[in-house]
Amino acid sequence: MDNVGFEENSSVSDMTAITNDFRSSLPSSINDCSGDNLNERNFPIINDDDDDKSIDFKEKYHVYRIRHFLLLIFITLSLTNAFHWIEYSIIEKIVCDYYGISTFWVNCTSVIYMFIYIIGITPATYVQDRYGLRVCLIFGSSINALGSWIKCLSVSRSRFWVAMIGQTLVAIAQLFTLNIPPMLAAQWFPLNEVTRATAFGVFGNQVGIALGFLIPPLLMPKLNSTSNDDENLSPEQIIDIEHGFNYLVWGLSIITTVIFLLILIFFKNRPEQPPSKAQALIRFMEQSESKQSYMESIVKLIKNPNFVLLFINYGLIAGVFYALSTVLSQMITRTMGPEYLVEAGYMGLTITLSGIIGSVVCGYLLGWSGKYKLVNLLIYIFSLAGTAAFCVAIEIRHINLLFITCALLGFFMTGYLPIGFEYAAEVSYPQPESTSAGLLNASAQIFGIIFTYASTPLIDYYNSVWTNIGYSIVLAIGVLLSFFIKNDLRRQNAQMHSV
């Protein structure tokens, strides 16, 4: 892309000059592309039949109605994968008692998602950039279904190791789903719908987490405060737990198989014609001889100070969210008693449902205002306030206040996730959305592992209050970092000046 002239630290005026140079290098008929009607527009399309990469003006760009159906299919895939992530952690004590394992291994069912992501994101992103959405989602949905079916063999009390094999596979499937929202939105939706489409893409993941918090506790018998190990499980409880696990694993297996078939039949890499000027420009650059490799893109992102700050910022808030979701059951049952397991599930559900609303509201707010830095900063500040309030609520053991603070936490912390994706796509343009999203998610997994394994000892040897104080300190650091991220909206500048 060097001949196009994008530099990582370009100012707005630099971007204007760059896009003007790009426009002047093309035939004058491009300048006929004006107006805001995105349904149909003339734009240069590369003709691959010619060796000199000549430009064919017969093509037009517009949006396709199938985009909403494709987004819905992806949402359901992301939903089932996220459900797998949290289904064991939210019933931590039951899993420990039933399988005869320690809390460490229950945490591993969640942390394996983060660990696999860190070591596998580079090859997965290469597949996504090289082969596109269809191949990536076929990989992800097939592995997700395979892991679900393997977990059907894990219901026996001696087969936790089988559950871990299945959990590892669905964690691998996450590699091919977690980075998809910004890429799917950019390639199928016009620019005025991109932030909302990304928010709805993240929405699927949050719905899955919500159901993961809600359904497992409802399918399991209620334990009392004297149930400290597997010897205290009655035969009736063991049978009930076995039935509960059967409902979980078989239901997920059937649903994930249907999703795989839908993706196989309907999903395409991208539309035949681009939905926006920015995407048309990217397609032009992809066809040029200067198309860069994945590692070249990584190097450019590393040299971009705005992206580096956002990389850390996103990792801090998402890492706290992942850790809090993983150890929520431990915090509530250790503080309030094991009989509050179902309430812990409802609190997790509250976090996630409010997060779903937050993702959509924050996505709309960002799309309406265009104030990326301001929205980023405000969400971070409110997340910090919610964490501090949750710390107070758990100290005074006020159940109603706990639910209220959980709602605040979920709304703002989860609402930040699509904002981070879109902010990264802006400051890193014209680098691929999948690459920037992949690095953000890698940051989230790294911090998530650190915070999760730091949380359990704090809960066991001190109390849940100290754990939440730690979360608050982390988010305060994130607030400070937010001030240093510049509002360098490169994708919007390219959209405005490309024609």
CA–CA dist 243, 266 (Å, integer): 35
Look at the block and give the residue holding tokens 């706290």. 320
The answer to whether position 330 is within a domain reads yes
pTM: 0.69
* 78 assigned to some structural domain: yes
Q: Quick check: is 60 in a domain?
A: no
Task: Compute the distance between CA of residue 113 and CA of residue 8 in angstroms, rounded to an integer.
Answer: 32
- Cα-based distances in Å from 79 to 94, 200, 343: 23, 11, 22
Distance CA 412, CA 180 (A): 22
Q: What is the pLDDT of residue 283?
A: 62
SS (H, E, C) 387-430: HHHHHHHHHHCCHHHHHHHHHHHHHHHHHHHHHHHHHHHHHHCC
Domain count, the chain: 1
Strand 41-42 with 60-61, pairing: antiparallel
DSSP for residue 100: T
The reported pLDDT for the residue numbered 275 is 64
Query: Which range of residues forms the domain containing residue 196?
Result: 66-497
Residues 6+ positions from 113 with CB-CB distance below 8 Å: 85, 171, 174, 445
Please list the ranges in the chain whose pLDDT falls under 50. Answer: 1-59, 226-230, 289, 499
- What per-residue confidence (pLDDT) applies to 473? 93
CA–CA separation, 383 vs 366, rounded Å?
A: 17
- Residue 174 is assigned to a structural domain of this protein: yes
Give a yes or no: residue 225 inside a domain: yes
Question: Does residue 352 lie within any of the structural domains?
Answer: yes
Say what angle helices 341-369 and 415-428 make with each other, to 10 degrees.
40
pLDDT digit string, tens, across residues 403-456: 999 999 989 988 888 788 788 878 877 777 777 878 888 898 899 999 988 888
pLDDT at 228: 47
Residue 305 lies in a domain: yes
Confirm whether 26 is domain-assigned. Answer: no
DSSP sequence for 146-210? HHHHHHTT--STT-HHHHHHHHHHHHHHHTTTTTHHHHHHHHHS-HHHHHHHHHHHHHHHHHHHH
Here the CATH number for the domain that contains residue 253 is 1.20.1250.20
Would you state the pLDDT for residue 23? 43
Residues in the chain: 499
